[in-house]
Amino acid sequence: MVKTKIAVFVSGGGTNLQALIDAQTAGRLPSGEIVLVLSSAPDAYALERAKQAGIPRVVVARKAYATQSEFEAEICRHLKQNGIELIVLAGFMTILSAAFTRQYEKRIINVHPSLIPSFCGKGFYGLRVHEAALQYGVKVTGATVHYVNEVPDGGQILLQKAVLVEEGDTPERLQRRVMEQAEWILLPQAAELVSRQLAEGKGETE
């Protein structure tokens, strides 16, 4: 079976990218291969992680382009050049347009640090999600991997994993535990799930 070619989109430290790289190295991503890391920030540490893993990397910064469509056209150019079939958003801080997500329907996945539909949508990212969960007083939170469409955090849910909120949790402490117990586990699992579906689909059309 031919492997599904994956691009991972990043903007920051790249801990979720590292989870994907580690899964690939350990043989837990047999149906897919990360062939490109695309960053919206030139100084993202995720680029260093990609370099250390020997994965080609490129920077496409939103502020370098006058319009969203020009920015996305440049992204598409790199995706086509590398034959990308699946996009994994791993801390990518730029919202993609409906025009872009339609081009890659059921081919973009994202990990969100809550149990959707709680604490999700526009404005809910990073520590804000965990601050909201603690403020609300929930006893259980977690992470969700979902398909990406034109609605922020609105695509079909693929996988979810619950994480218990502990007494005395700070947003930072909760964030770390959700990453370790849910995000870093779920994202590679979902990448393999969708890669396998796409690879099997290719086999049927050949």
Domains annotated on the chain, with CATH: 4-205 (3.40.50.170)
- Digitized pLDDT (tens) for each residue of the chain, 206 residues in all: 799 999 999 999 999 999 999 999 999 999 999 999 999 999 999 999 999 999 999 999 999 999 999 999 999 999 999 999 999 999 999 889 999 999 999 999 999 999 999 999 988 988 999 999 999 999 999 999 999 998 888 999 999 999 999 999 999 999 999 999 999 999 999 999 999 999 998 765 44
Active-site choice (78, 112, 130, 146): 112
Question: What pTM does this model have?
Answer: 0.94
11 — phi, psi (to 5°)? -140, -15
Active site residue 112: yes
Instruction: Give which of 157, 164, 166, 165 is closest to 186, Cα–Cα.
Output: 157
